[in-house]
Structure 1
Amino acid sequence: MGEPTGPAVTVLGAVPFIAAAGTLVWAVARRRAGVRGRLGRLARPAAVCAALSLITGFAVPTAGGDGDAGAGAGWKLAESAVLLLLLAAVTRWSPPRELLVVVPLIALAVTLWPLPLVTGESFLEAIGIAAFWLVPVIAAVAAGAYPRRQELRRRRAVAETRSALRLHLSRDLHDFVAHDISGIVVQAQAARFVAATDPSQAVLALERIERAGLSALAAMDRTVQMLHGPEESTTTRPLPDVSQLPSLVADFTAAGGTEARLDLPPEAARALSRAAGAAAYRIVVEALTNVRRHAPGAARADIVFRVTPTTVELRVTNDRGTRPAPVRRRAARGGLGLPALTEHARALGGTLSAGPHGDGGWRLTAALPVTPPDEN
């Protein structure tokens, strides 16, 4: 049997091009039918097209006369262009495990197709020709890899933003809502004990329960408004700061059980920035909430602010107390409030620590940076 000539050469040269072009058209046609999904399934058809190109690449250009070789070279040029487009699409959309097979196959098909045309050249010249055709292969891979990398970075940024938002919401709910709920529980317990003997005290306890409930609802409304986006957040009340500590301490003491005392010099309040002041308020809320939960028998809790040249020191100290808790409760597990506030204080340039103090008491110590002079 003789070698294929004439129309047979043209047909053999056209088969890989038609296959590759058909695959590309199938991937991009009918955009409403899930073009992105089909682009993600291009790896196997593209590998088949590359293998077909390699099989026919060493037969078509050398078959027949010079005209047949020229026709084969023309088909190969067109076929290489389509394969490069497929390579960019595969690199952009296909799963990584499939790229390990299809990318080398297409690279071989594109870089090796001219070699049968230069059989009389030296080995180094053949290597140079293959290296020259490797440049568009690299460009096609880069064209697909760059948007793939950008999308991956965008997805990671979105995931990190969502995680940070969830953490912020959990901190907000823990710091404010948990404190108010703890106060409601204590007031309800106190009202139950005094309702029969002193109804007037029970009425006062119910009023304090109402205020704590409204405060918890306000904190939840603020959180929900923040979820609605910046348009809704613009109307949200600012976070509490140290200026609201006196009312917080008064409500805590009025709830009964533990007497809280606040020592907040005016210079300490002025030395704190808005962010540091909000952090100080949250630290005091967390400390008092922990006193209520873990040391209900404490007789006294002291909140003291002191100003140093570079920081505002905050100390919340409670004693063990000798009075038993009014109602026995199961020991509460440690939460995430203190670790979260420790990270928040570090982010502001400060520190926070907590541990046993004195004869069975507890002390929380925080150091927050003072406001720079140009921000006053």
Structure 2
Amino acid sequence: MTNPQDPGVEGPLWSRPAYAPVLAAAAAASLAGSFARAPAVWSMAGLALLLPLLGLVTRWSPARSGYFAGSLGVAAVALWPAPLVWDEGGSWLEACGAAAFWTLPALGAVAVGAHLRRQASRTRRAVRDARRDQQLELARDLHDFVAHDVSAIVVQAQAARFVAGTDPGQAVRALERIEAAGLSALASMDRTVHALREAGGSPATPAPGLTELADLVGRFEGGVLEAEDAASAGLSREADTAAYRVAVEALTNVRRHAPGAHTVRVTLRRIPAGIELAVTNSAPPRGPWLHAARRRRTGGGTGLAGLRERVEAAGGTLGAGPAEAAGWRVSAVFPAVSPAVFPADGTTQG
């Protein structure tokens, strides 16, 4: 039986299980009437019922009952003129020709039903794939943005606990950063909720981009931003969003794997290959609170793997590896899409 929640389902649900039995009964009656020499007008009336039923059974019925009823229906439509041909002295060849002729409308009804069934199946798959893609997108947003802010809250809370007794001023500043990270996490959650409501007709909130990079780096302790003004203008919208996500994921990984790093430098610049967004951190310090933080933060996400796919989808490349002084560097390079911004001679036009 067809799932009542399938897209494109129309008509009363109670009638669908009856299509195959009704077709089988009608086909059996038509065959019996034809070989019992029923009047031709009754046979033609039976055809008017059998052909729509063939289409309905092909469209709605389960495969097992549909094959049986459909085969019986095609046989009834094809064989109804055979007794008339024999009664008029026709040969077997003529009877077969008549049967072949009347098989065509039966197969046409089956083809129409099969086409509608195939279209409905494609629609269901498209809806299922779209829902899965939306779920993956929401999962990436939660990982990229909310996890970043939550990890900032955890690290700052751990730092505040260790310095509260000796340096209350540092603890207060840590609490201020916790507040800012919490507000950012709430904003990210709001964007996720808006994305969920988009299917209901509500306007979608645009994904954050490099216009928010300065604020992102400013909330990161030890973060330094070096950005060329014209660099972000050379990126497509997809690359702009992907570059911002690279920065978020890289900074999140610094908090996870190198908490307390003295310097975290974020650079956005033009290079011969295009536009580069790079995040480089110095080696993490050694100390008791650092080891405690690492013990509490076990496990990890799949950020870089998913991020690489997003960067490549925007036409860029992602790289990560050791940097100088035992640090780490994450870099993404995107093609520039505004040649007028970056002339061939290397000057920057205003």
Asked if TM exceeds 0.5, the reply is yes
Cα deviation for residue 147 of structure 1 reads 2.4
Q: Deviations over 1:337-364 (max 9, x none)?
A: 2222222222211122334556764332
| Counterpart for residue 331 of structure 2 | 365
| Counterpart for residue 264 of structure 2 | 301
Aligned pairs for 1:33-44 within 5 A? 35-44=12-21
Going from structure 1 to structure 2, the CA distance change for 1:212 and 1:330 (only over 3 Å counts) comes to closer
What letter matches 2:34 in structure 1? G
Question: 2:148, 2:252 within 8 Å by CA — same for their partners in 1?
Answer: yes
2:58 aligned with 1:79: no
Q: Deviations over 1:239-264 (max 9, x none)?
A: 332232223222212xxxxx333332
| Counterpart for residue 14 of structure 1 | none
What letter matches 1:37 in structure 2? W
2:237 aligned with 1:269: no
What letter matches 1:194 in structure 2? V
What letter matches 1:347 in structure 2? A
What letter matches 1:127 in structure 2? C
Q: Aligned match of 1:136 in 88, 105, 112?
A: 105
Identity in percent: 52
| Counterpart for residue 29 of structure 1 | none
Q: Aligned match of 1:289 in 252, 266, 279?
A: 252
Q: What secondary structure is seen at the aligned counterpart in 2 of 1:335?
A: coil
Q: What secondary structure is seen at the aligned counterpart in 2 of 1:367?
A: strand
Q: What secondary structure is seen at the aligned counterpart in 2 of 1:266?
A: coil
Question: 1:182, 1:289 within 8 Å by CA — same for their partners in 2?
Answer: yes
Question: 1:294, 1:331 within 8 Å by CA — same for their partners in 2?
Answer: no
Question: 2:233, 2:338 within 8 Å by CA — same for their partners in 1?
Answer: no
Query: 2:340, 2:48 → 1: CA distance?
Result: 62
| Counterpart for residue 239 of structure 1 | 207
Question: 1:299, 1:323 within 8 Å by CA — same for their partners in 2?
Answer: no
Q: Aligned match of 2:243 in 280, 286, 290?
A: 280
TM-score, normalising length from structure 1?
A: 0.79
Query: 1:97, 1:357 → 2: CA distance?
Result: 64
Going from structure 1 to structure 2, the CA distance change for 1:360 and 1:200 (only over 3 Å counts) comes to closer
Going from structure 1 to structure 2, the CA distance change for 1:199 and 1:263 (only over 3 Å counts) comes to same
Question: 1:276, 1:348 within 8 Å by CA — same for their partners in 2?
Answer: yes
Query: 1:100, 1:313 → 2: CA distance?
Result: 61
Q: Deviations over 1:200-252 (max 9, x none)?
A: 22222111111111111011112112222275325x4x433223222322221
Query: 1:375, 1:264 → 2: CA distance?
Result: 15
For structure 2, list consecutive stretches of 5 or more residues without a partner in the other structure: 1-10, 343-350
Q: Aligned match of 1:90 in 54, 57, 60?
A: 57
Cα deviation for residue 330 of structure 1 reads 5.0
Q: Deviations over 1:270-328 (max 9, x none)?
A: 22233322211111100110111123254433323332355212232334434241524
What letter matches 1:103 in structure 2? G
Instruction: Say what the alpha-carbon RMSD is for the aligned residues.
Output: 2.5
2:194 aligned with 1:217: no
What letter matches 2:263 in structure 1? R
Query: 1:332, 1:174 → 2: CA distance?
Result: 16
Question: 1:298, 1:323 within 8 Å by CA — same for their partners in 2?
Answer: no
Query: 1:357, 1:110 → 2: CA distance?
Result: 78
Aligned residues between the structures: 326
Query: 1:170, 1:57 → 2: CA distance?
Result: 63
TM-score, normalising length from structure 2?
A: 0.84
Q: Deviations over 1:31-62 (max 9, x none)?
A: xxx7233223321332233234334432x11x
Q: Which moved more, 1:46-55 or 1:171-180?
A: 46-55
What letter matches 1:112 in structure 2? L
Question: 2:145, 2:185 within 8 Å by CA — same for their partners in 1?
Answer: yes
Going from structure 1 to structure 2, the CA distance change for 1:357 and 1:371 (only over 3 Å counts) comes to same
Query: 1:100, 1:362 → 2: CA distance?
Result: 64
Question: 2:278, 2:330 within 8 Å by CA — same for their partners in 1?
Answer: yes
For structure 1, list consecutive stretches of 5 or more residues without a partner in the other structure: 1-33, 62-70, 254-258
Question: 1:47, 1:106 within 8 Å by CA — same for their partners in 2?
Answer: yes
2:295 aligned with 1:332: no
Q: Aligned match of 1:347 in 313, 322, 325?
A: 313
| Counterpart for residue 249 of structure 1 | 217
Query: 2:323, 2:103 → 1: CA distance?
Result: 71
In our comparison, the structure showing a higher alpha carbon Rg is 1
Q: Aligned match of 1:113 in 72, 77, 80?
A: 80
2:139 aligned with 1:173: no
Question: 1:286, 1:337 within 8 Å by CA — same for their partners in 2?
Answer: yes
Cα deviation for residue 267 of structure 1 reads 2.7
